[in-house]
A and B are shown apart, each in its own frame.
Chain A
Amino acid sequence: MLTIGKVAARAQVSADSIRFYEREGLLSPAQKSESGYRLYTEEAVRRINFIKHAQQCGFSLSEIRELLELKGHDQSCCNDVYRVAVEKKLQLESKIKALKTMSQALNQLIEVCSHDAKPLDECPILAALESSIAGQNARSGAHQ
């Protein structure tokens, strides 16, 4: 059996992260020692690696919980995981589109700036943001 410190070292996370995963229902110790210390098996290390990789792919903790439940459910099949992955990709692509729109709005603001060293109260970027031109540009950019 492994203590929380050993699991943390093997999975390259902090002990606090492991306690956090436990609070979120993503991980639980295999047993507790007589003195009340958490004890884990190697499965915990694999599970933490799974959680880390899923987070890197943009999955939220609740989505990771769903994936872990699917993984541990005998009747689940690859299609169930595939569906979650397709939906996540749709959400990520949607976020990318929104970020591109925001980036374009910033381009317009940057173009407005004449590059002169002006006092801050004449800054065209701040002025545009204050007059909500940025918001209007972002909205019109979203419809283009």
Chain B
Amino acid sequence: MTIKIEAFSSPGCGKCAQAKEMLKAIVEELGRERISWRDVNILEEMDYAVELGILSAPAIAIDGELVFPALPSPNRLRAELIRRLGQAR
């Protein structure tokens, strides 16, 4: 089973890009075969973002559920992913 991460942000957000790179490194660390990452342009997928309850960007959804309404620290994301990977076993 693959965990699906969706990172919602608006184009041109320099700070978001920097923070996302740090979070993507965690995905690499835990294994790309177990976790997928998708960058979502919030302006192109506004309906989907609203459906998930996203009210500000950047935000992260995991497996179609809004988990982080703001970008988490790398440690928080790592802990959340490890917890989910543990449940999936």
Residues of A within 8 A of B (CB): 79, 82-83, 86-87, 89-91, 93-94, 97
Contacts and interface: CB of A to CB of B under 8 A. Distances in A.
Contacts of B53: 94
A131 to B, nearest CB: 29
Contacts of B54: 90
B14 interface: yes
Given A79-B13, A86-B43, A97-B50, A91 B55 contact: yes
Given A79-B13, A83-B57, A90-B55, 8 more contacts: A82-B10, A87-B55, A89-B46, A90-B42, A90-B49, A90-B56, A90-B57, A94-B53
A79 B49 contact: no
A83 B46 CA distance: 14
A60 B10 CA distance: 22
Q: Which of A86, A89, A91 lies at the interface centre, i.e. has the most chain B CB atoms within 10 A of its CB?
A: A86
Contacts of A93: 46-47, 49-50
A89 B12 CA distance: 17
A90 B9 CA distance: 12
9 tightest Cβ-Cβ pairs between the two chains A and B: A93-B50, A86-B10, A87-B56, A94-B50, A90-B55, A97-B50, A93-B46, A91-B55, A86-B57
Contact of A83 (B13, B47, B51, B55): B13
A143 to B, nearest CB: 11
A113 B55 CA distance: 37
B12 A90 contact: no
24 contacts: A79-B13, A79-B14, A82-B10, A82-B12, A83-B10, A83-B13, A86-B10, A86-B42, A86-B57, A87-B56, A87-B57, A89-B46, A90-B42, A90-B46, A90-B49, A90-B50, A90-B54, A91-B55, A93-B46, A93-B47, A93-B50, A94-B50, A94-B55, A97-B51
